[in-house]
Structures are given as C-alpha cells and as structure tokens.
C-alpha cells in the first residue's frame, strides 16, 4: 500500500541529493520515477533538482496551475514512485493532489522540503504535508556555527541576520545558514 512521506530538514540537510539517490535506486531496477520541483526555484534552471555537491537531475516544474495528479495519471509509463523537491513551495491543492496519487493510483510519494522559514513560520506546503503525510521524517544537519543539530534557517544579508521580510526568497549558502536555536537567536556574525 502506497504512502505519502514528508522528509523535511533545514538548509544543507541533503534533501536534493537524497532525491537523486532514490531516483537512481529505482531506475537501476528498471522502475520509472517522476520527479517534481517548484517552478519558483530558479537557482539553476527551472525544472532542475540541484544538489550543493554538484549533482543535478531534470524534474517537472510545478506552478500554481499545474495539476500533478493529471500529469501522473496520464503518464504512458508505469510509475513506481513520485519524488518531490522544494515541497514547501507547493500549494495546499498540490499537496492534496499528492494524496490522490497515493490513494487513487497507489503510487508512493516522497516529498522533501523545508518545514519552517527564516521567521520560523510554516510554509503552506509544509503545513499541508504535516497534516496529510502518512510518515514524517526529519533529515538532520549540523549548525553552521557549532556541532549541534540545525533546526532553523537563518537568512543573512550583508553578513547580518534577517528576521523580517517576504517568506520566499530563493537562495543558497549566500542567503541562508542552517543553525541551532542558540545561533538562530544570536548568530556569531
């Protein structure tokens, strides 16, 4: 029986590389996967899952009007697994479509993303996944400034912490650090 998994972690916790690894494992056994990612993430090329260690993989970009369920349902190939990167940027409707893929098409879905933003508020997609996912798993990484577990995403600009602003600002290590609670409240910048 298929399930919806939500694997979340702070920046730099290996979410994208895990997607590439899982896809490889399925395909090595001649099983088809579909990979989706947010159309908002334009750090590389829209429609690309890109890991910080340099590995990349093509994906189907998801925009507000995208119907993920229909794309999967209309696939000419038998799909063994759906993988989702940057799931925090998905709408509640998109997350509901993922549940329909699991429940009606009996295809497992593994969604990866951030749980909370730089203000420690839930993203809409993450909130919906926390409600609807069958299994929720944390992917761990260490704080940028110490060896404690990082649970927060610290936004920085000009080497100063930023705690207010628009929820979505696409960026990598130049804009965000994974940090522990202590260094979220008092970063040594």
**pLDDT in the model for residue 27:** 98
The catalytic residue positions are: 86
Q: Rounded to two decimals, what is the model's pTM?
A: 0.93
With 0-12 / 13-18 / 19 or more C-beta atoms within 10 angstroms meaning exposed / middle / buried, residue 80 is middle
Neighbours of 89 (CB within 10 A): 22
Mean pLDDT by 10 residues, the chain (189 residues): 97 94 98 94 77 87 97 97 97 98 98 96 97 98 97 93 83 82 95
Closest CA to 84 of 55, 122, 113: 113
If DSSP codes are grouped into helix, strand and coil, which group holds residue 138? strand
Let me know: does 3 contact 132? Beta carbons within 8 Å: no
**pLDDT in the model for residue 41:** 67
Cα–Cα distance, 20 to 17 (Å, whole number): 5
First to last CA, the chain: 48
């Amino acid at each position: 029986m298929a399930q919806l998994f939500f694997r979340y972690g702070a920046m730099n916790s290996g979410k994208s590389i895990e997607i590439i690894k899982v896809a490889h494992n399925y395909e090595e056994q001649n099983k088809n996967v579909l990979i989706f990612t947010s159309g908002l993430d334009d750090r590389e090329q829209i429609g690309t899952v890109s890991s910080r260690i340099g590995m990349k993989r093509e994906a189907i970009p998801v925009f507000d009007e995208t119907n993920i369920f229909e794309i999967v349902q209309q696939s000419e190939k038998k799909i063994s697994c759906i993988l989702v990167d940057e799931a925090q940027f998905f709408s509640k409707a998109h997350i509901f479509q993922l549940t329909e893929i699991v429940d009606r098409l009996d295809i497992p879905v593994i969604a990866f993303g951030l749980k909370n933003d730089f203000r420690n508020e839930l993203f809409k997609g993450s909130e919906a996944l926390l409600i609807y996912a069958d299994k929720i798993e944390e992917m761990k990484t260490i704080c940028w400034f110490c060896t404690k577990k990082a649970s927060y995403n610290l936004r920085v600009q000009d080497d100063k912490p930023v705690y207010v602003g628009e929820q979505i600002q696409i960026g990598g290590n130049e804009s965000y650090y994974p940090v522990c609670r202590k260094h979220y409240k008092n970063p040594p910048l």
